[in-house]
Structures are given as C-alpha cells and as structure tokens.
A = this chain, B = another copy of it.
Amino acid sequence: MGGEALRVLVDHPSVEVSWATSRQPGPIEERHPNLYGTSIELIHPDDAAPCDVVFMALPTETSMEVANRYLSAGSKVIDLGSAFRLRDRAVWEKVYGMTHTHWSLVEEAVYGVSELHKDEIAQADLVANPGCFSSAAILGFAPLIAKNLIDTDKLSVDGLSGTAGVGAELARAAHHPEIGNNLVAYNATGHRHTYEMEQELGSLAGSEVRVHFTPIYVPITRGILNVCRGFLTELRSRIELLDLYREYYEGHPFVQVYDLPKEPSASWQYKPYPWVSAIAGTNYCHIGLDVDEDRGSVVVFSALDSVGKGGAQVGIENMNLMFELDRKLGLTRRGMHPN
C-alpha cells in the first residue's frame, strides 16, 4: 500500500516526497523493483519529520499513536489502515480485538469515500481511507439504497480479490504453489469490511442494513471484483438502473458506469460487464449491472484496484481535495489493455 502511494506520488505534479519509512531502512528498489532509480531511501520512522501531509500504512495498533503525533504537529493525515473507519466504538473494539487508544480522533476523522463525503473530506485533517472491499460494495449498492429500491436485509456480496490484497507479508494463502491455479475463500462470514459496508450503507438507508459478505482470493495480482446481489423492492429494467447510476455518479470522475449494450456489435465478442484488468493500477471504479426481471433480483459488478481506488490512490484523490487541488491531479492514467 505504501509502495503504491509512492509510485503515484513521485509522478504527481504538485507533490514532493519528503521521506518514506520502514522498520528496515534501505534503498527502495530492494522492496519495490519498479521504483529502481527513483533514489528514494527508506528511513527509520524516528527520523521522519512532520510535513504537509502524511500517508500511513501501518499496523492498526501503531496507527493510533502515530496519527496523533503527526496531527499534533500540524500535519494532515491520511490513514490507509483501519484505525479510524468505524464510528461505533464497541463494534470497532470487538472487530479489531483491541482497545482503541485515541477514540477522540475517530470523531474528527472523515470516512474517505469521496463520492459520498467530498465536502467533509475537503475540510478534514484526518481521513480514514476505506477498506478495499468496502469501497467497492458501497459504490456498488449506494444508488439502489439511496432510491430505496432494494431489500436492505439481504445485501449479498462475493468479493473476488487479487493477491495484492494479501499484502507484502508472506502467507500460505498467497503462496503461489497453493493459489496459482486455485480459488481460496476465507473469513466467509463476518469479515471486518462488512461493518464498514453496513455503517455507510445503513447511513444512506437511514436504517440498519445487513450485508452478507464473503471474500475469495483469486489468482490475479491486482484488482477486486465485488459481485453484489440484491432483491428489488420495485422492478426496474437494466437500462433504467444504468440511467439511475449514471445520474447518481455525475460529477464524480472516477466512478464510471459501464453501460455497454448487451448485444455487442457483431465483430467483437466483448462482455457487457466491467473488467478488473481495465482498472488495475488506476483510481477508476467501473460499475456495471444486470437485472433478472423474471426473478426480481439485480446483480451489480463493482471493480476497482485494492491499492488504487480501493486504497492508496483514493487516498491521493482525498489529498487533492484536502489541499484544494484538481481532484484528478496525478490520477488520470488509464489502466493497461491487455493487463
């Protein structure tokens, strides 16, 4: 997550990278071969002076203290971790299995889904960047919930994640001989991101909602596809819902409603739903959908990159908002095709 923030920040026209830290200092290319030649040196955390804005990608227990230190020194802070995301303390402490040492910071933190909280983010000193699965699910369901079109008790999400989501630490579920030609479900019920989804979608609904969420690692490196299924309380056609989504996200440049016709032009066998590969490495979220009119259900596909729009890059989008820069600055490069 930290490496991705650096990769995009070194190319950002209004940013100068002051430092990057690691508990194991050294040249950046030993960790991130893609940054070979950028001459960034990883320094020890104790050697890092306050600056305009600090991105944090730290263990939860460390984040609380470090955020407090930099905020007190006048830096703005964008936390890419989970210390400040949930507004119910009892829930947070149960989910993360620890006592929160700086709860007052949660009260001033803004949850960093820019499409829902743009104005508050612009005013914030502390942004709690959302979880990757959470972002995709919230963006996927928000228009339906805002319009009261869906049974909020039975919101179903299967989150298919590339292994970038595992992080840099070695883990059996990311050992290539195990996952390279495999699919690995984990935390099949009650995954931590469930609570973020329920908080934000419940807030939109104005009442409690239930999200039934299961994450699954798939053998791609980057990107998440959330398959969001719900049961319509009033029937709408695919075309009507695509219109609704486009309208809902108007003015938000990084959510693109993927409204290709279901009958492709004869010459090219595309599928009319979003592709993870198309948004990997970017700050874009592609959303598409379909309606089963016979059975009364809707399926929404929400694709984003767990360390892009679902992580470090949306953090940079939030930084742009916090510093009154063009929201898109440094973030417009398109994904690769093929990828």
Residues of A157-187 contacting chain B, CB below 8 A: 158, 160, 162-164, 166-168, 170-186
Find the B residue at minimum CB distance from A217.
Answer: B176
Among B24, B35, B338, which residue has its beta carbon within 8 angstroms of that of A221?
B338
Asked if A270 and B166 make an inter-chain contact with CB atoms under 8 angstroms apart, the answer reads: no
What's the nearest-Cβ distance from chain B to residue A13, in Å?
10
Q: CA separation between A267 and B10, bound complex, in Å?
A: 25
Asked if B221 and A177 make an inter-chain contact with CB atoms under 8 angstroms apart, the answer reads: yes
Asked if A338 and B185 make an inter-chain contact with CB atoms under 8 angstroms apart, the answer reads: no
A51-59, A67-75, A103-111, A271-279: which one contacts chain B? A271-279
Q: CA separation between A275 and B221, bound complex, in Å?
A: 15
Find the B residue at minimum CB distance from A289.
Answer: B188
What's the nearest-Cβ distance from chain B to residue A137, in Å?
14
Report chain B residues within 8 Å CB of A30: 260, 264-265, 268, 270
Q: CA separation between A264 and B34, bound complex, in Å?
A: 17
Tally A residues with Cβ within 8 Å of B: 100
Among B158, B178, B290, which residue has its beta carbon within 8 angstroms of that of A338?
B178
Q: Given contact pairs A34-B339, A156-B297, A181-B338, enumerate 19 new A-B contacts (beta carbons under 8 Å).
A: A4-B337, A10-B334, A11-B333, A34-B278, A34-B335, A154-B231, A158-B229, A175-B176, A180-B219, A180-B338, A181-B181, A181-B339, A182-B277, A186-B273, A188-B301, A189-B290, A212-B299, A222-B336, A280-B336
Q: Which residues of A contact B (CB under 8 A)?
A: 3-4, 7, 10-11, 24, 26, 29-38, 154, 156, 158, 160, 162-164, 166-168, 170-186, 188-190, 210-212, 214, 216, 218-223, 225, 227, 229, 231, 256, 258, 260, 264-265, 267-271, 273-281, 286, 290-292, 294-297, 299, 301, 303, 332-339
